[in-house]
Structure 1
Amino acid sequence: MYTGWSTPLGLVQEELNQREYEGHPVPDSIKEKVAAIDEKDAMNIVLIDPIFDELEALPKSADFNYVQPNDLEEIRRERPDGPRKLGDVNNDEILDRLHGAWTGRACGCALGKPVEGVGMRGAKGMDGRQTIRTYLENRGHWPLDFYFSGAEAEDEIKLPCELSQRENIAFMEPDDDIHYTLIALHVLEKHGADFTWKDVANAWNNCLPYNAICTAETQAILNYNLAVPRTSLMGRVKADWVTPDFTSTHRNPYREWIGAQIRADGWGYACAGHPELAADFAWRDAHWTHRANGIYGEMMFAAIMASAFLVHDPVELTKIGLSEIPKNCRLSEAVNAALEKAEQTDDFHTYMDWVQEHYGDLSPVHTVNNALVVVGAMLYGQMDFHKSICVSVEGAWDTDCNGATCGSIVGAASGAKGLNSTLVAPLNDTIRPKVFGFEEIKMSELAERTLQVQKGITAR
């Protein structure tokens, strides 16, 4: 037992919620035991660690009717019919669309970055959406149409991330939503289409500062490193017992949160026109850090992303994404319900009222509720680059993640030449991440490098 993203007490408190979400009712006796732990014992491993074992041993309820496998072949057996492969993207368009996708990801991430905190937790007694709207209205900027201002107003709400505010923005600053897309490119350049989950884990160790890794990813990389001696990576000893089951579940209550979903894009870029293959790559990336819907979120959006290079209808794209995940899982249920709801109202915020009513009890960084924000932004933004990204951030919760995912999709659909948006120019086509080997790079260069990877994959 160890800490990671939170204290042992923080981890076990989240595990209570996670076990029930997975269909394992937690008895009051365990809840009361956790509630009785004083904050001064938050790091008391001897006291807290046995509770995890109790939670792990809980039986699944007979009333839990979802079918949510973690193995790729089992996932495929449970998925509905789908196109699997759409075809190759026109050679005259692919580079421009890749540039559009990278640009869209950066624009959406930068737009949502300053309000990520208030989008999740709200401020001044308001929820996230209310806070974002109030902040913009008080500065004369509602509806959202450009990067957030850091200007002061009577609400006394101060936003962080000054480098992503309209007064200062000149490039995409470091953010995990960008980092993992770069990691995907790095892995594919180094290992090609036959990469494994351990290649991804080793890339994190080699390229990402530990402090740039969050929640489920923090727990998974700690689990991996605790189980894999450094000397084994040098070839001195053999240590191959570590499994994705262990890295994704051991003291990892965040295993169905958004962390895998935000890693989908790079695989989708590399598999443009090939949604099944994109979902396969996403599964390899996701299943060592996440379980069930945490995996499916990345698979669904990787398939959507791969398809957006050829398909531009938001409903069709969403259904292609759904065709790569189990038909009877929580994420499929929620997305299908969202598609039905969207047919009944023409207003995004009325739609979001419904999303909050039905999925607002989930963590603000959960896979399912944030997926519905992105799907809603695609639908109500009508795949327009500028409008869709702005709407996705207005939806609150994990604003930079949702803005980035939505931006990737509409950017690929539009292509860089079609990006008639004021969000593009301020970034100067430049990303300055905290990823070793990518300290400062142009998005146009990333598109060129991604194209070379994509050519190698589709030629197989």
Structure 2
Amino acid sequence: MIRLTWVQPEDLVGHELRQAAEDGRDVRDIAERWHAAGGHDAPPRAGASEPGALRLRPLAEDLLDELAAIPSPLDSDEPSDLPAIIAACPNWPVPTAPREGERVSQVDPARVLGAWQGRAAGCVLGKPVEKIPRAGIREIAEATGNWPITGWFTAKGLPVDIAERWPWNRRSAVNSLAENIDGVPEDDDLNYPLLALSVLERHGRGFTTDDVAKLWLDELPAGRTFTAERVAYRNLLAGVEVPETATYRNPFREWIGALIRTDVYGWVNPGDPATAAEYAWRDARLTHTANGIYGAMFAAAMCASSLVASSAAEVVEAGLSVVPPRSRLYQAVRQAAEDAAQESDFERVVDRLHERHGTLHWVHTINNAALVAATLIHGRGDFTATIAGAVAGGWDTDSAGATAGSVAGALNGGVPVRWRMRDTLASSLTGFDGVGLGDLARRTQEMMRA
């Protein structure tokens, strides 16, 4: 039996039950029926086969549809359509309409390059320890003399017992450890910003969600998609229309996928978090709803601010201005920012994050967005401390590292030499394999003029 993760109905029910617990739906009866039939709350290990999985598929399909029909009591506090989101944000920023060339003139080009460099560095730092829990990341770092984290992870000098207890991410260890980094390796956290740049270059500032979907089908290999993106890809091929692509049998609609796609929408709108958030919404609604969309808007607004702001605190506030205050994401980020501002020991800040959000999946939007905000506030502009905090937090290490690095790199107008890689980015996207970050920064600035 071939296991295609993230889309097989019998694998999705457990995730949808978990999503229901988060958004306040009472689904105990459905859970009991699923478990009584032999269904599990989590799919088997990737690549494994499970006898009887096909037997469960018809029931899984029925239960997914039943679950989708149950409304959440949080719907009014966590809307997904843009006018309702704006109405729910009392501090929604005023969009700006700059004169010809004004976007470019107000931005130091070094900050645009720093944003790309920072995103790449934070992503690559987190790649080899993705899926390793927080305790394992610290044990690896301590055993190799890299705690607090101040450089790339390495296998050199790592005791065998620790290496066996906490194995590297097998797809990433070959190109993201200190001893084998050669340019910037491919990653979905870097492919999606390339796609965002492409949609702007091809369709301009009036691009639509349909334009994003068509670009994916033309350029993004299905095997390079995960969680909500893979479900939406499947839905597109099945003829499902936007925005139902985000909701049809998609239990990952509040996970981190949309948050990692929207930095470019902020960079082309420096100092204009409202417009950046609107662009992010157009992209995110293809795959996500509610807090999944808010995460994308939050990241884009932060990136818009990061090119002109003077502090990380200012950037986080800009991000929060486009998130409904009654939403779970807003409350998580606000609390994380307050903790980080008041607590001198970042490990205690992360302890509190795990206490509050430890039941969420490690690639959920809410916990990772809170961690990003916390490390930005606590890092106070220090690039190394900022990406180290995002990765040491132990959830989606490469994604959190990339977003935190993007903001910190922009604020600093570059990244320290130790975090610069050979200026070539690997990618399976047409026309991008081998592209330099300097060229991407130049093209980003060109889109500011559009």
- TM-score by length of structure 1 reads 0.88
Matched residue, 2:427: 433
**SS of 1:282 mapped into structure 2:** helix
Give the aligned residue type for 1:43. L
Matched residue, 2:150: 145
Question: What does the per-residue CA deviation read over 1:207-241, in whole Å, with 9 as the maximum and x for residues that have no partner?
Answer: 1111100000000111112117xxxxxxxxxxxxx
Match of 2:79 among 69, 73, 92: 69
Give the aligned residue type for 2:147. W
Question: What does the per-residue CA deviation read over 1:71-91, in whole Å, with 9 as the maximum and x for residues that have no partner?
Answer: 111100001214435775563
What aligned pairs does 1:194-273 form with structure 2 within 5 A after superposition?
A: 194-227=206-239, 242-244=241-243, 246-273=244-271
Residue 394 (structure 2) pairs with residue 386 (structure 1): no
What aligned pairs does 1:66-215 form with structure 2 within 5 A after superposition?
A: 67-85=77-95, 91=105, 93-118=107-132, 128-151=133-156, 152-153=158-159, 154-155=161-162, 156=164, 157-159=166-168, 160=170, 161=172, 162-215=174-227
Whether the 8 Å contact between 1:270 and 1:454 is mirrored in structure 2 is yes
Whether the 8 Å contact between 2:86 and 2:92 is mirrored in structure 1 is no
CA distance in 2 between partners of 1:140 and 1:115 (Å): 16
Matched residue, 2:286: 288
CA distance in 2 between partners of 1:19 and 1:367 (Å): 15
Deviation at 1:7, TM superposition (A): 2.8
Matched residue, 1:13: 14
Q: What stretches of structure 2 of length at least 5 have no aligned partner?
A: 39-49
Deviation at 1:56, TM superposition (A): 2.1
Deviation at 1:290, TM superposition (A): 0.3
Deviation at 1:171, TM superposition (A): 0.9
CA distance in 1 between partners of 2:113 and 2:340 (Å): 30
Q: 1:221 to 1:316 in 2, by over 3 A?
A: same
Deviation at 1:315, TM superposition (A): 2.0
CA distance in 2 between partners of 1:93 and 1:343 (Å): 28
Matched residue, 1:36: 36
What aligned pairs does 1:344-355 form with structure 2 within 5 A after superposition?
A: 344-355=342-353
Question: What does the per-residue CA deviation read over 1:80-133, in whole Å, with 9 as the maximum and x for residues that have no partner?
Answer: 214435775563743221111111110111110000121xxxxxxxxx111100
Matched residue, 1:231: none
**SS of 2:51 mapped into structure 1:** helix
Matched residue, 1:236: none
Aligned residues: percent identity? 40
What aligned pairs does 1:322-401 form with structure 2 within 5 A after superposition?
A: 322-401=320-399
Deviation at 1:194, TM superposition (A): 0.4
CA distance in 1 between partners of 2:52 and 2:87 (Å): 45
Question: What does the per-residue CA deviation read over 1:235-272, in whole Å, with 9 as the maximum and x for residues that have no partner?
Answer: xxxxxxx231x100111000000000111211111112
Whether the 8 Å contact between 1:133 and 1:142 is mirrored in structure 2 is yes
Give the aligned residue type for 1:31. A
Q: 1:133 to 1:3 in 2, by over 3 A?
A: closer
CA distance in 2 between partners of 1:206 and 1:170 (Å): 28
Whether the 8 Å contact between 2:65 and 2:249 is mirrored in structure 1 is no
Deviation at 1:344, TM superposition (A): 3.2
Give the aligned residue type for 1:384. D
Question: What does the per-residue CA deviation read over 1:353-398, in whole Å, with 9 as the maximum and x for residues that have no partner?
Answer: 0000011111100000001111111111112222211221111100
Deviation at 1:40, TM superposition (A): 2.5
Whether the 8 Å contact between 2:210 and 2:242 is mirrored in structure 1 is no
Q: 1:433 to 1:65 in 2, by over 3 A?
A: closer
**SS of 2:286 mapped into structure 1:** coil
Whether the 8 Å contact between 1:94 and 1:451 is mirrored in structure 2 is no
Whether the 8 Å contact between 1:103 and 1:429 is mirrored in structure 2 is no
RMSD, aligned CA? 1.9
Number of equivalent positions: 425
**SS of 1:422 mapped into structure 2:** helix
CA distance in 2 between partners of 1:299 and 1:43 (Å): 38
Matched residue, 1:26: 27
Deviation at 1:60, TM superposition (A): 3.6
Question: What does the per-residue CA deviation read over 1:172-224, in whole Å, with 9 as the maximum and x for residues that have no partner?
Answer: 11100000000001000000000001111111111111110000000011111
**SS of 2:105 mapped into structure 1:** coil
